[in-house]
Structure 1
Amino acid sequence: MNNTRAREQAGWRWGLFTLRVPFLHTRLYWQEFLQGLFVSAATGLALVPLMTGVFGLTFEEAVACSLIHAFLISSASIIFGEPYAPGWVTPALPLVLAVVIGEMSDPVERWQAMTAMSLDFAALVLILGITGLGKRFMLWLPDTLKAGIILGAAIAAFKRVFIDDAERFLHVQPIATTVACALCLIITFSLPLQALKERHRWLALIGALGLLPGFLAAAIVGPLVGEVDYDIQWGILIPPFADLWAKVSPFAIGWPSVEMFIQVMPLALMTYIMLFGDLVTGNEVIREAASDRPDEHVDINPTRSHLSVGIRNAIMGVAAPFFPTQGAMWTGVHVIIVQRWRQGRAGMDSLHSGIASYYLMGLPIIFLLLPLLTGLKPLMGIALSLTLILTGFACAYVAMAIPREPAERGTVLLIGMAIALFAPWIGLLIGIVATLAISGWSRREPQAP
């Protein structure tokens, strides 16, 4: 990484950040562009059923909200100069939904809660990043408590799909949803399939597409079993940003109360733990591949990363609040892009070009095309269920690997249940007490991002 021949991709500096203008500083790669066009759409629009079903938005307003989220996510690399493929802090999503949907019935109150979480998280990330206290905070947290929080996210995800929203999504499209989830779980986590991927490149390529294979399977199976009915419309969607602002912005509906800011602070703390893990993972993926690309220096700057996440969450919190859609990294996509980057300049001139291409060069055009939007509309509930189930499985996968002793495993399960089922402060308090009383405040030092 520090090779004297290495150079950093050109761009326009502004403070700690670097603006890289698409087509001027970064090239378009169709391989990444086409993947992003479909995969980003499938995941970026997955929240639309929730926004229309329980947050009081019309379909057009929900799409406009998702468009703002997509623009802010793509800005992480293009405007702020981050070397990661950005995404949601997905493990926190089921915990957030459990609190916002489970404990609040009024749509205005739900949007205010989303604003409170976004601004709490923004303030926390900015303070911990600027002061350098983030690493110390992670050193102080015991492994059992970290694992319990992650397992709580897994339990909350499965509860959201199989219990809380079963009538809305799972019971309406049971076969298509089952096919999509089963296919993605097998492709992503199956141990027997991993060996086959090493021998068959086409299988490896399918596995690298993340949610897309399962989503396409649902799109084919759904109409055959009568669970999906397409109503394709033609034209261009003009996003109703003014109507969206009037329904979601705290400048229009009122600011959260001080009590609400305090109530949701534990969720911001737990989300930071997950964010820190994403940064560590992203750095290691880049560092491991950098030896094959001595021609490009990739600047890893923890302070810049914290500032980028904090600023984006602050903007989202007042314009289109839906926490936690502004994180640091989308792990699967990051790995895919880095693996192609490491193959050499002939395949990808710069890591930043690959990331910008995947995020449609910062122009989420799919949100404006009615044929694609209306084609995806009956599949959005499946996309949400798929996202939550894969998140739950992945969180459980990580959480169960952390504890070493039987007592720690039992404590992790207890904490996970408390985090998933009780209010944030109560769940976190139970987690702290259980950790102290049963497994002790033991911890292993994480690697700094």
Structure 2
Amino acid sequence: MLPKRQHGEVQPGLKWGPFTARIPLIHLRFSLADMLQGLAVAGATGLALVPYFMALLGLSFEEAVVMAMFHSLLISFSWMFFGDPYAPGWLTPAIPFVVAFITTPAYLGDHTAQFQAMTALSLNFAFILIFLGVTGLGAKLIKVVPNVFKGGIILGAAVAAFLRVTKDGDAANVFQSAPIAGTLGVVVCLVFAFSKPLQAMAANNKVLAMILGFGLLPGFIIAGSVGYFTGEFVYNIRWEILDVGAAATSLWDKASPFHIGWPSVDTFIAAFPLALITYILFFGDVVTGNEMIEQAQTQRDDEKLELNGSRAHMATGLRNVMMGIVAPFFTTQGVLWTGIQVILLKRWTQGREKVDSIFDSIGSFYAFGLPFLFIFLPLVTLLQPLLPVALAVTLILTAFACATLALSLVDDATERGAMVITAMAFSVFEPWLGLLVGLVTIAALCGFKVFMPKPEQ
């Protein structure tokens, strides 16, 4: 029997150390709408790096799918074992830096060296996260950052997401690769997620309310159907079951440091600066997730969403350790999938009769869909053409949600201007340079007083 949550308390679970484990159908309920979204959106997005795995690291299609499956499993079960109320995902903005790192002359063409570099990156990043989590320094850092700087980071994520969607030649530019079906899918998803007139109509129309309840799924169905008839999407279905055992064994032989050897000290040293840069992106995601949850919390007083910066650091660090020693591809284990977080929170704010706990939505979106998806090649190959739509939708939703959130954090006109400059710096420069420009801009325009901790009320 499901434990009943008392009004205003945290969803029940099994406490272990700083974490809380929640078991499906015991500590959370099943949500069909969220599971169907997970199959379509998370499934297509989870396959996005398969071409990278094959082209850069020399993996076969089956090995690449198993690697993507392992990454998705770690993400899918993060909420279950650790208890954070985030929809976890990749640290997507760092992927270009990682690809550039492993394609330098020191690693290019040597797949063993590339995998060792990925392990070094993952373990360095995990060390930073776990150290800051255990000491509590990460949580303190998140609390003392002023709103104007938080807003700059969040708005920077919005600008960067929008720029990536419109960049020529990028996999996310669906407007270039599938202009009719892609544009229609993105527009439908955006309107269904945020349109106030449509939501007002749904209040008096049960059929429309039911359709809107499926979130992004209708947009994907429309895009996939239109793309088939326009010829923009070609479906090459493979009617097979993936031989996970054979593919996992060969992947282990090619990628795991237990088989190919551990990275050298020089590799760990060379990888450390990129791990530090990636921490800035992680920090921005935690800030964004916390602000989203705190705003949504004002509309639901029956469930308390417990935010714990130290727990988020340690949980993400542990996932990076596991990924780095089994199927290393750095930045696939982040703390937040912004576009999905906003969709799940929006459904949660509609009330307890819609979804009892945020973990019902998160659990159904991830655990009830992803663990089984990659085994069935008919589903994998069915979703492959929808990859550009999935990337574009999540980036557009991220851009919109982050922009509205950032603009609500400050009221002062000077702080808003400094926030915009900081955002542009984060979106066009490397993360460390964006950080420096933002700090200097805010200090010069707003004064050092904004960095001083405010007294407790």
TM-score normalised per structure 2: 0.78
CA–CA distance in structure 1, aligned partners of residues 362 and 21 of structure 2: 14
Contact 1:16 1:304 in 2 (8 A): yes
Q: Residue 65 of structure 2 aligns to which amino acid in structure 1?
A: V
Contact 1:84 1:334 in 2 (8 A): no
CA–CA distance in structure 2, aligned partners of residues 208 and 117 of structure 1: 40
Inter-CA distance 290–180: structure 2 relative to 1 (3 Å threshold): same
- Per the alignment, residue 67 of structure 1 pairs with 69
- Per the alignment, residue 161 of structure 1 pairs with 165
Please state if 1:193 is matched with 2:168: no
Q: Residue 163 of structure 1 aligns to which amino acid in structure 2?
A: K
Please state if 1:393 is matched with 2:417: no
CA–CA distance in structure 1, aligned partners of residues 116 and 395 of structure 2: 23
CA–CA distance in structure 2, aligned partners of residues 32 and 447 of structure 1: 41
- Show structure 2 runs of 5+ residues with no match: none
Contact 2:154 2:288 in 1 (8 A): no
Q: How far is the alpha carbon of 1:300 from its aligned partner?
A: 6.5
Please state if 1:327 is matched with 2:335: yes
- Per the alignment, residue 313 of structure 1 pairs with 320
Please state if 1:410 is matched with 2:417: yes
CA–CA distance in structure 2, aligned partners of residues 371 and 267 of structure 1: 35
Contact 2:85 2:305 in 1 (8 A): no
CA–CA distance in structure 2, aligned partners of residues 325 and 447 of structure 1: 35
Task: Single out whichever of 36-45 and 329-338 deviates more from structure 2.
Answer: 329-338
- Per the alignment, residue 86 of structure 1 pairs with 87
Task: Single out whichever of 335-344 and 36-45 deviates more from structure 2.
Answer: 335-344
User: What are the equivalent positions in structure 2 for 1:40-439 lying under 5 Å apart?
Assistant: 40-52=42-54, 57-80=59-82, 82=83, 84=85, 86-88=87-89, 92-93=91-92, 95-101=93-99, 105=103, 106=108, 115=119, 118-163=122-167, 165-166=169-170, 169-170=173-174, 171-239=176-244, 240-245=247-252, 248-249=255-256, 252=260, 255=263, 256-279=267-290, 281-282=292-293, 285=296, 289-291=300-302, 303-320=310-327, 321-327=329-335, 330-332=340-342, 334-335=344-345, 338=348, 342-343=352-353, 355-361=362-368, 364-439=371-446
* RMSD across aligned positions (CA): 4.0
Contact 1:290 1:342 in 2 (8 A): no
Inter-CA distance 244–161: structure 2 relative to 1 (3 Å threshold): farther
Contact 2:290 2:307 in 1 (8 A): no
Aligned residues: 436
Inter-CA distance 18–200: structure 2 relative to 1 (3 Å threshold): same
Counterpart of 1:326 in 2: which secondary structure? coil
Q: How far is the alpha carbon of 1:280 from its aligned partner?
A: 5.2
CA–CA distance in structure 2, aligned partners of residues 77 and 193 of structure 1: 31
Q: Residue 61 of structure 2 aligns to which amino acid in structure 1?
A: F
Contact 1:26 1:356 in 2 (8 A): yes
- Show structure 1 runs of 5+ residues with no match: none
Q: Residue 162 of structure 1 aligns to which amino acid in structure 2?
A: T
Inter-CA distance 61–439: structure 2 relative to 1 (3 Å threshold): farther
Task: Single out whichever of 20-29 and 371-380 deviates more from structure 2.
Answer: 20-29
CA–CA distance in structure 2, aligned partners of residues 424 and 358 of structure 1: 30
Q: Residue 323 of structure 1 aligns to which amino acid in structure 2?
A: T
Task: Single out whichever of 426-435 and 159-168 deviates more from structure 2.
Answer: 159-168
Contact 2:65 2:374 in 1 (8 A): yes
CA–CA distance in structure 1, aligned partners of residues 423 and 451 of structure 2: 18
Q: How far is the alpha carbon of 1:290 from its aligned partner?
A: 4.9
Q: Percent identity?
A: 36
TM-score normalised per structure 1: 0.80
CA–CA distance in structure 2, aligned partners of residues 143 and 83 of structure 1: 22
Inter-CA distance 245–83: structure 2 relative to 1 (3 Å threshold): same
Contact 2:348 2:358 in 1 (8 A): yes
Inter-CA distance 165–388: structure 2 relative to 1 (3 Å threshold): farther
